[in-house]
Amino acid sequence: MSAGALPLPADLDREPDGGDRRPRRATRAASSKWAASLLSVVVMAAVLFPVAQNWVDVPQDDFPLSYYPMFSFEKGDRQRVTYLVAYDAVGTRLLLPYQYAGTGGMNQVRRQMNKQLERGQAPRLCRNVASRVARSGDLPAGIHTVEIVTGTFFMTQFFAGNRVPASESVRAQCPVQRA
């Protein structure tokens, strides 16, 4: 090849010493495919490995390898939920958003509420919620009482439209004191 001349397509597969590049390229491509295949098999095995826990008498769930119990665990129709209720002077009932009990996502706040109730701190939780309600500009000004309530619901009825609890237990009640 002369200086300044462009290589011809056939020359691209040639080594400077005149040898053929194709076998080396094919070997590299094959090893890359094997590496990608092996990585895919390892990742799939890591994802599927914990599923075997579904057939163990006492399954072990651990992050990040989870056997996904939230999808395989059978829950009963009857569920207990703790929530916040407020009343105005004429007795109108208002369900309060979970954010008045704490910060974070709904499940996180509900877990925090349940832990406080288990520790006997329902009155303290109620006072904290009442304090937040008193400072809130988003709620009606006439709210004068806050309750921490645990209700029992039947999920089949609840999701069919009946949102009334089968039973309720008032865990704490306190006044809303505005400054």
pLDDT tens for the 179 residues of the chain, in order? 555 566 555 555 566 666 665 666 667 777 888 889 999 999 998 878 777 777 777 777 666 666 666 666 677 899 999 999 999 989 999 999 999 999 999 999 999 999 999 999 999 999 999 999 999 988 888 899 999 999 999 999 999 999 999 999 999 999 999 87
Burial 6-37 (b: 16+ CB within 10 A, else e): eeeeeeeeeeeeeeeeeeeeeeeeeeeeeeee
Evaluate whether 130 touches 174 at the Cβ level (below 8 Å): yes
pLDDT at 28: 75
Both structure tokens of 18:
């005149």
Q: What is the distance between the alpha carbons of residues 90 and 87, in angstroms, rounded to a whole number?
A: 8
How far apart are the C-alpha atoms of 105 and 113, rounded to whole Å? 12
For the beta carbon of residue 86, count every other beta carbon within 10 angstroms.
Answer: 22
H or E element, residue 113: helix 106-118
Q: What pLDDT shows up at residue 143?
A: 94
44 vs 164: CA distance, rounded Å: 45
Count the alpha carbons within 13 Å of 96 in the hemisphere toward its beta carbon.
30
| pLDDT for the residue numbered 18 | 61
3-state DSSP helix/strand/coil % of the chain, to nearest 5: 45, 20, 35
Report the distance separating Cα 173 and Cα 127, nearest Å.
8
Let me know the angle formed at the C-alpha of 176 by 175 and 179, rounded to the nearest 5 degrees: 130
**Nearest C-alpha neighbor of 126 from the set 83, 89, 92:** 83
